[in-house]
Each structure stands twice: as C-alpha cells, then as structure tokens.
Chain A
C-alpha cells in the first residue's frame, strides 16, 4: 500500500515538473530567462477550469481519447518500479502488458485525432502510427535483454536485478549501456522531442503529436498534457532504473531517483538545444538503427 501511494504521488506530483525542467534548460542554454519551472502545473490548473469547444464532426471517441491517454500512464506507473520503490502491481509477463497498455493509449489517441476529420490531425495520426511500428520492437528487445540478465519475467525483478550492481560485471555491462542508450532514444521518439518532433513548433506540417491534439481544448487538453508529462516520467524512469545503483537506504535512494529523473530532463533539454529536428524521412532510419543497436546488445549478451 505504501508503494501504491508512493507511485501515485510521484507520477501525479512530479510528472508536470519534467517539461518545466526541459524548458528551463533550453532557455538557459539559449541565454533566456525562461518560464517558471512550475509552468505546467499552472497551465493544468487553468485548463481544468476552462470550458471547451467541440467540433460538430466529433463523437464520444474524441472525448474518450484524452481520458484513456491520461489513465494509461497512471496504470503504467503501477507496473514500473521507481528506483527503490517496487511496483505495486507485479506479475509474470507484466512487461508485455506495459507495452500493450501504451498501444491502447495510442489506439485511442489516433482514433480521436481521426475523428476530427481534419487533414492536420490525420497527418499526425499517420506519422504516430508509422513511427510506433519502429519503436515497439526496440522497447521489446530492451525488455528481452533485461529478462535474459535477470532470468525473471516481471518488471520488478528485471530492473531490480540491474540495480543491484550487475551493471559493473563485464558481460552484461556493455549491453546494458546499449539498452539504456536505446531507451533514451525511444524516450525522445515516444515523447515527441527533438530530433523526432518539436513540441514547440507551430508549423503543423512538421509536427507529430502536437498536431494530433490540435482540436482538443479545455480540460480535455489538460488531460492530454498531464498524460504526456506522465509518459515522459515513465520513459525517464526506465532509463534511470537501468543506470542508477541502489544503496539500500530507502530515503537516499528515492532522493537519488528523483534527482536522476530531473537529470534526464536536463539531458533531454541539452539534446534539444544541441540538435535540430531531423527531416521526416530520416526519422525511420534513425529508429531502425536504434532497433538494430538494441539487437546488437542482445547478441552481445547471448554470445
């Protein structure tokens, strides 16, 4: 029960901070002052109290999309261990459920986008669906690597085995680093960051996720923003779980975990400051490369 509450607290409380950290990092590098770190909290508070505009074209699925996109990361947070805090919901094969839960969220987000009948939303939906084809195998291979290292089938044991210092042993170290790198790329792709997508652009033709949610407003849009932030936190947590050793002191570990999450956000900010968005046709190549890299990590482990 403690773990349950802790996970909910982290996912609900900490998630909106990460986009703020990214934005602040980018602002500092660009020599600007930047928005407050808590900007997303304020945005959410404002959006949740607003009215909303609905298109005549849309149906219930347009309103179901944001709610499911909000519920799925919360469920995902219950399946994923957060550093020292084991996942409250754990069973054999829960990593398959974890991957397919996000498939469910994507399914409804895409259908909600297509429900508007707009060409912009259709464009974003097509791109989202296409890129997800290439992202899903990478996550899966990463999980398979963890299964192979830990010899277990639940996310708790998979990440737990990594945290207890297996990183330093020679046969697994290199493939774990490769996995962490691949998961970081997946983080950028799944959360629509540069170099895959630019969340701040207003050129609809180049966007993926932002263009899918153009027509959402008010509380629905708030749910989408909240869900996206939570998804970012989960993706970051996977990378952190791989890299952060565990000392055994719960309070220390938890603080280190939260600090590492913020560091990942800083890293994302640094990548965004250093790179430009890739041309759209280059994106599949990068993603296929990442998948192959993760396969390489698997082969290193099997030899």
Chain B
C-alpha cells in the first residue's frame, strides 16, 4: 500500500497545471500580457508541484497508480510512477521550471503580439507530454503522449516561421521522429499481440519469450527510441533541430526530451528476458562511435548551438555506452562492473540534462545579446557578460568532465566499471573493455578541444564583430534560470554521495539484486580531503599574496610580438582553432564541403569562398537512400495515370487474377 497516496496526485496536478497553462493563454484573445502571465504561471506552478513528488518517489522507491476516467472510450488513461519514472521526471520538472523562467525575457514575450499565446501553448503541451510519456502506465497513453511530444516540439522548433533554416530543420525533425515512431508502433502492437493487453504491467509475459523474439523487440526499441535519443547513426535530425529551435527549447529538448527515449529503452529492457551479450556490445559500440563522431563534429561547427547539439550526440553516446556495458557485463557475469556502468550511465543522464541545458541557455543569452550564433563573430564576451560567462565556463568544465564538477563523477563510474570488467575478464574480452576505456579517454581529449574552442573564442579576446562589441549582460531572470543548473552541477560534483544514494531505487528496478556501486568499489567521496582543502587554501593565499605585492600595470594592448597595431581581425577564429585537428587528426569523414574558385585568371574577379558543414551520415547515407526511394516511388507513380479507363482495367485484371487464384486453389 502506498505510504503517501498524494504523491502521484501531485504529478497529475502538475500535468493538469501544464495543460491549463497551455489552454488558458489561447483563451485570452488579444490580451497578450495576460496570456503570457498565465502561460508562464502554468509552467512554473506545474514544475513546482511535480518536483517534490518526483523526489518523494525517488526517496521511498514506492510505486503508485492512478486511473482518471476517460469518458466515452474503453481505454484507461492510466498513470503509474515508480522510482525509475521519477528518476526521469525530476529533470523534466527542474528544467521546465528553469526554461520557463528563462523564456520570460529571452523571447521578449510580453511585447510580441500573438506569439506569446502560441509559444506557451506548445511549451506547456511539451512539458505535459514529457511528464505523461514518463508516467504512462499503458502503451496507448505512452504513444499518444509520445506523438504529442513530437508535434509540440516540432512547432517549437519552427517557432520563428520566417527563418528558412528553422523550417528545414523542423521538416527533417518531423520526418525523422515519425519514422522512429513507426518502429515504436510496431513494438507496442507486437507486445499487445503477445500480452493481450496494453498495460505495461501485463508485459511481464514477455519475459517468457524465446531469445529470437526478444531480439526483435530489442531491435524495434533500439531503432524507435534511438532515433529520438539521437543515437548514432540515427542522430541526423538532432543537430539541425536543436540549433534552429529557440534556445530554451533547445535546452529542454537536448536536456530532457531526448532522455525520455532513453527512459523508453530502459523500460523495455525491464520487460524483456535477458538479452544475448552481443546486444549490449552492439549498443556500447554504437555509443562510443557516436560519441567520437559527435565530438569530432562539435569541434568543427562554425555555429555555436550546432556545436552544442553535436556534443549532445556525444553525451548520448556515453550514456548508451554505459547502458550497453551494463547489458554486456550483466550477460557475461560481471555484476559489480555492470552496476558501476549502469550507475554511471544513469548519473550521466542527470548530469547531461543539467550542463547541456545550462550551455544552451548560455548560448541563448549570447544570441540574445549579440544577435548571432557564429562563433567567429563573437569574442570578448566575458568582459561584457561577466555572469553569463562564468556560468558558461562552469557548464563547459562540467561537460569536459573536469573535477570538481558533476561530469567527472559519472565518467569516473563508467571508467571504473569498464576497467573492473577488464580486470576480471580474460583475453579478447578484456581487451574490448580496455579499448572502450581508452576510446572514452580519447573522447575526453576531444571534448577539451571542442569546449575550449567554444568558450575560448566566444568569451576571450577582443570582439570579432560589431555585434559582439555591443553585447550586454542578460536580465536577472535569465541569469537565475542558468544559475540553478550550474549550482546543481557543482553540488553533484562536490557531494556525489547524494545523487548516488538517489540512484539506488531506480537501479533496483532495472537490475534487481544488483550491488550498490559504492559497495562494489569504495568511491573516493569519503577520502580524507581536509589536507587538500588546507593546501588549496594555502595556494590561494599565496596567489593573493603575490597579487597584492605586485602592482598590475593595465592599459596596454596584448603584446603582438613586436607588431604595434594588433587588431581583432588577427585573432584566432573558431575555424582556425580546429583547423589543425581537422586536417591532421580527424581524417576525411567530417571534412566540410568547400567551394572555391579553381584558379586565378588574368583579371581577378570577385572570388567567393564557401564552406558548408553537412552531417556526413545524412549527406552520404540517408540522403542518397531517400533520394533513391523517391525515385522508386516516382517510377511507381506511372501506374497512377489519372484516367478512369486505366483504373477500370486494373480492377478488371485484379479480379481476373483473384478468380484464377481461387480456381487453382
């Protein structure tokens, strides 16, 4: 019996508040200010109602169901929240709160005519549908919420209808997400056939499946959820859509929306019988290739938000690596390592939600202040936007897994899981684990390149354009929205025991009887850090002492090695910064398409140099594939001549064929 019957009702209340925040602004008509206030109040109140409920579920590990009536249909609108769902609900509510707070000034909504009502409608519907996807107790509610989530986020991506790039990105997103959803329909229909019910609770029957049947389900879930999660190589829509959407929507999509797909994948894994070991290996392989691919491209993008979006592909790769290794270690009999990998993957879900939304919101502030997303047109922003700059730096250090921030903790867990498994295994199997660890270390180095490029060029140096020179600090509400995830990042990094303790209940659902990661390997969090603190204090005091003694003599320009009039045009740009890695290390895969005139004639005319970054997987695999499909469809199109007599002939021929068939059999 649930100890606190009100917790799930709080979640329900949150969803209802979101819906109220969606519908009421539409009813406000011309009174845009009222619409804005109502929309924002709905989002904030819903998030505040949901947060304690999710936390309560995580702490107690209880499961609660609720079935509000759905009049007129036989379908049950069933919600169920357990610790695993709560684990994913917590970042949803937290980030909806931050993003709603941020949107207030970011879109300048009060002054924007009809946009406010539309924005809040889709924003709140997205928030409600994300909570519903995670809380759904049967596949009908899940799929409906899933579709609503896809559509509302699509409308948010194309929020700026005048932007052609946004429309194209939205179209790509719409197509990709529906292709993925088709696989999910297949998955849930097949489950319905086997289980005879739509309820998730009846899916326990699937545990009796033969391995081949389980594989089909796993493949469907992998493709369906992988598309939404941005799993390599199905990630193609992600960089475009996340770059084009308004920044707080990018933060919400990148931070939590794609995580709901991971929730779906994990939830399906709890229904299935133990999978063969190679499934885990496949998932881990896709994960690590995605993270290498994503971060290599993140270091090459000229667009600030696109670079962040590619880094999302990388982080999803790391999470999938952790999940895949959990499956693999579990299947090959390394429960301790499996627990570490799963804990690392789950914690990275939270961590990525926090620091990626922080970075997207920071990028949004830069876009808001300067009007451009091109890294090479920014620069000198740490001086002009000091607080945003510090918050961005915190996010950057967290995403590069640098201590003492949260990214380090989750990567440490995955490393330890990998190496522990590698220690216990023998021969080739051990080598696989060690190779994954080394590749993860390689990713770590590449992240540093991408992040220093992103932050160093935009924040440091002189402004590289007029737009950047006129930048201004963001408003307090935007800063507060960024400070919340930044503080949580720091908190998780300094006191990782707290989130690890919260992980225990979801892990018990995913891997019943799995050991506590802290019990497998004594983690460093209770080591004696007092000496270190003392030492750091001493060093800081020493630094301050030196600083006080010496008088800085400001007012000079940067030393230009003898050149007396350095200008901002001489500074390193984003393209220059990654050029060396691009040419010498990354190989031919991620190279941009460069258009330049062949040669100089006798009379040099105006010359144009153009570089275009298209996603290599999209450009080389998917585009040709879909173009071929379109060609095939075009060929078939000839059958549809549009003349009645020809259609009658078809009908006649079909009838003759059927008659002949029935005679023969």
Contact = CB atoms under 8 A, between A and B. Distances in A.
Interface of A: 4, 8, 48-59, 61, 63, 67, 70-71, 74-75, 78, 88-94, 96-97, 99-101, 103-104, 106-107, 110-111, 113-123, 125-127, 129-130, 132-137, 139-141, 144, 147-148, 151, 153, 204, 214-215, 218-219, 222-223, 281, 284, 291, 295, 298-299, 302-303
Contacts of A88: 531
Given A54-B554, A100-B403, A107-B397, A115 B438 contact: no
B382 A61 contact: yes
A115 B536 contact: no
Closest 7 CB pairs of A and B: A122-B572, A117-B461, A114-B456, A115-B460, A133-B445, A91-B524, A140-B441
21 contacts: A8-B535, A49-B549, A50-B550, A53-B556, A56-B555, A57-B461, A59-B382, A61-B382, A61-B460, A78-B535, A103-B448, A107-B451, A125-B452, A129-B449, A129-B452, A130-B581, A130-B584, A133-B442, A139-B441, A148-B423, A219-B546
Contacts of B451: 107
A118 B461 CA distance: 7
Contacts of A90: 527
B558 A55 contact: yes
Contacts of A115: 382, 456, 459-461
A116 B581 CA distance: 22
Given A53-B553, A54-B554, A141-B438, A214 B577 contact: no
Contacts of B555: 56
B626 interface: no
A110 B419 contact: no
Contacts of B664: none
Nearest to B562: A204
Given A114-B456, A116-B558, A125-B456, A104 B402 contact: yes
A148 B422 CA distance: 8
Nearest to B441: A140
A14 to B, nearest CB: 18
Given A56-B554, A133-B448, A204-B561, 10 more contacts: A88-B531, A92-B524, A96-B411, A100-B402, A119-B572, A126-B576, A133-B581, A144-B434, A144-B437, A298-B431
A55 B559 contact: yes
B186 interface: no
Contacts of A129: 448-449, 452-453, 577, 581
Contacts of B554: 54-56
B416 A92 contact: yes
B522 interface: yes
Contacts of A148: 422-423, 430, 434
Contact of B559 (A118, A127, A151, A302): A118
B547 interface: yes
B557 A55 contact: yes
B550 A219 contact: yes
Contacts of B456: 110-111, 113-115, 125
Interface string B446-474: 10110111011101111000000000000
Contacts of A214: 559, 561
B423 to A, nearest CB: 6
Chain A at the B interface: SS class: helix
Chain B at the A interface: SS class: helix
A188 to B, nearest CB: 18
B539 interface: yes
B582 to A, nearest CB: 9
Interface in B528-559: 528-529, 531-532, 535-536, 539-540, 543, 546-547, 549-559
B437 A140 contact: yes
Contacts of B439: 137
A140 B435 CA distance: 10
A148 B431 CA distance: 11
A266 to B, nearest CB: 30
B408 interface: yes
Most buried by A among B379, B426, B431: B431
A303 B531 contact: no
Contacts of B553: 51-54
Interface residues of B, number: 90
B559 A89 contact: no
B531 A103 contact: no
Contacts of B556: 53-56
Interface in B69-101: none
A136 to B, nearest CB: 4
Given A92-B521, A118-B560, A119-B572, A101 B531 contact: no
A256 to B, nearest CB: 27
B401 interface: yes
B585 interface: yes
Contacts of B29: none
B578 interface: yes
Interface in B392-432: 393, 396-397, 400-403, 408, 411-412, 415-416, 419-420, 422-423, 426-428, 430-431
Most buried by B among A52, A89, A140, A153: A140
A169 to B, nearest CB: 18
B547 A126 contact: no
B585 A122 contact: no
A106 to B, nearest CB: 6
Most buried by A among B528, B532, B566, B580: B580
A104 B403 contact: yes
Contact of A284 (B380, B401, B584): B584
B523 interface: yes
Contacts of A295: 438
Nearest to A99: B441
A138 to B, nearest CB: 9
A55 B438 CA distance: 40
Contact of A51 (B551, B559, B572): B551
Contacts of A106: 448
B460 A103 contact: no
A302 to B, nearest CB: 5
Contact of A97 (B403, B570, B585): B403
Contacts of A218: 550
A130 B579 CA distance: 10
Nearest to B580: A130
A136 B441 contact: yes
Nearest to A298: B434
Contacts of A130: 449, 580-581, 584-585
Contact of A71 (B459, B536, B559): B536
